[in-house]
Amino acid sequence: MRYLPHTEADRQAMLAAIGVGAIDDLFDDVPASARLPELLDLPNHQGEMQVERDLEALAGRNLSAGAAPCFLGAGAYRHHLPAAVDHLIQRSEFLTAYTPYQPEVSQGTLQYLFEYQTQVALLTGMEVANASMYDGATACAEAVLMAHRLNKRRRTLLSGGLHPHYREATVTATQFTNFEMAAQPPDADGGEDLAALIDDDTACVVVQNPDVFGRLHDLSPLAAAAQAKGALLVAVVTEVVSLGALTPPGEMGADIVVGEGQSLGNPLNFGGPYLGLFASRQKFLRQMPGRLCGETADAEGRRGYVLTLSTREQHIRREKATSNICTNSGLCSLGFCIHLALLGETGLRRLAGWNHARAVQTADALGALDGVEVLNDSFFNEFTVRLPRAADGVVSDLAERGILGGVPLSRFYPDDGALADLLLVAATESNTEDDIAALAGALAEVLS
């Protein structure tokens, strides 16, 4: 076998050296119920060209976001990506760069990370930001862990408008702690009163804006209520372009702001890699997870950049670290930084305006159809509609007509029958008026 160089004699010698009689004995600790009784029914090995053809045929069965009118959202959004972004991040000094532990040879990498941090702090209305995290969901989990370190309390209050993936990542990251996760049920009607649920043991309140149903919130009253009880407000933003139009969470009183930066500089990529945004108040800096780049001066007084406050992750004993995420999404954050620099403040505000305008057009077109109800009284570029039948079937019917019509909320909440007829629809600057007309026409046909 070309890629299996060990002979039968080699394998027997290795088994004898570790004291087992057969390869199957190596898996004795795996319960029989978790083992396959026989090999999977997979095809035998094939030549490279045949494998390519087979994979291309499988890929051809997908309806990709770039090949059809696309109204998918729910935390990952299709935006126009300027050609300059892809060109610049593929320069060898960026693409092949590794961790910037030696600042004397990493000034370019450190400088763009410093610029990225500055951008995130300005966008979120916060005082400090780190050099990015893996994605929005892990950033949310790290924010909760940080809040517990800061006030030593046990309870976390999770909004019913928080994206389910963010909730699940947070619950997973804290499952072996003594924290209490008070996760609220899905808040499709916008009626939850989080302020009334805050008690003296609450470490933090986690809320999303716009929330997973697309609704907008003024976080100021909730921030005041949380802080009056000694709790922290963690604000989540899954659509970073919204910050070109909405009041930043920091200006509404948030203590920690986390989010997903995919919308700027990064394509959908079938779900990743993405990058997590993380920003906080200056007074919480020493408990902030992840890397932090700072500006300094060398012995000759020249400006330079270094990793700072790096007593975290793999640099010290694991149990003393503020985080065990040992890297940042460097290339993704570079794409974010370049895209935002190309836009500038005026360009970002204009982009946000286009997104909202397209979403308003889409909501008006769908709301005019018989049996379709737009539930939102406010939204940025994403909103929820109620359909006269189950949304997952409608989405499948639309896909057969060459349209990616949105995300059925039953995909996130399969056990909640009350949400089965709800469809989450996102519109961005990439959607044309023809796309909107095609969606409305196909939906009318599907529902007739």
pLDDT at 283: 96
- Average pLDDT rounded to a whole number, residues 166-185: 94
Residue 224 has pLDDT above 90, yes or no: yes
In a domain, 39, yes or no: no
Residue 308 has pLDDT above 90, yes or no: no
Provide the domain limits for residue 387: 70-80+345-447
* CA separation for the pair 134, 290 (Å, rounded): 10
- Average pLDDT rounded to a whole number, residues 191-213: 97
| Average pLDDT of the chain, as a whole number | 93
Say which CATH number the domain at 120 has. Answer: 3.40.640.10
* Integer-rounded Cα radius of gyration of the chain: 25
From start to end of 154-308, where are the E strands? 155-158, 180-183, 202-208, 232-237, 256-260, 276-280, 293-297, 303-307
- Same domain assignment for residues 301 and 358: no
pLDDT at 186: 95
Last residue of a domain, one of 339, 362, 386: 339
How wide is the angle at C-alpha 376 spanned by C-alphas 374 and 377, nearest 5°? Answer: 120
- Same domain assignment for residues 325 and 356: no
- Same domain assignment for residues 197 and 241: yes
Label residues 235-274 b or e (16+ Cβ within 10 Å = b): bbbbbbbbbbbbebbbebbbbbbbbbbbbbbbebeeeeeb
- Average pLDDT rounded to a whole number, residues 302-318: 72
pLDDT at 268: 94
CA 216 to mean position of chain CA atoms: 19
The predicted-structure confidence for 374-433, as pLDDT tens digits, reads as follows 999 999 999 999 999 999 999 999 999 999 999 999 999 999 999 999 999 999 999 999
Confidence of residue 304 (pLDDT cuts 50, 70, 90): very high
Residue 211 has pLDDT above 60, yes or no: yes
In a domain, 35, yes or no: no
- Average pLDDT rounded to a whole number, residues 361-366: 98
- Average pLDDT rounded to a whole number, residues 70-83: 97
Nearest to 289 by CA among 309, 305, 274: 309
pLDDT at 311: 53
φ and ψ of 404, to 5 deg: -95, 95
- Same domain assignment for residues 294 and 414: no
pLDDT at 316: 57
The predicted-structure confidence for 10-50, as pLDDT tens digits, reads as follows 999 999 999 999 998 999 999 989 988 888 888 888 889 99
Structural domain total, the chain: 2
Say which CATH number the domain at 385 has. Answer: 3.90.1150.10
Last residue of a domain, one of 339, 366, 401: 339
- Same domain assignment for residues 90 and 180: yes
User: What tokens does 25 get?
Assistant: 């004995």
The predicted-structure confidence for 81-117, as pLDDT tens digits, reads as follows 999 999 999 998 888 776 777 888 888 899 999 999 9
Are 277 and 124 in contact by the 8 Å Cβ rule? The answer is yes
- Same domain assignment for residues 264 and 386: no
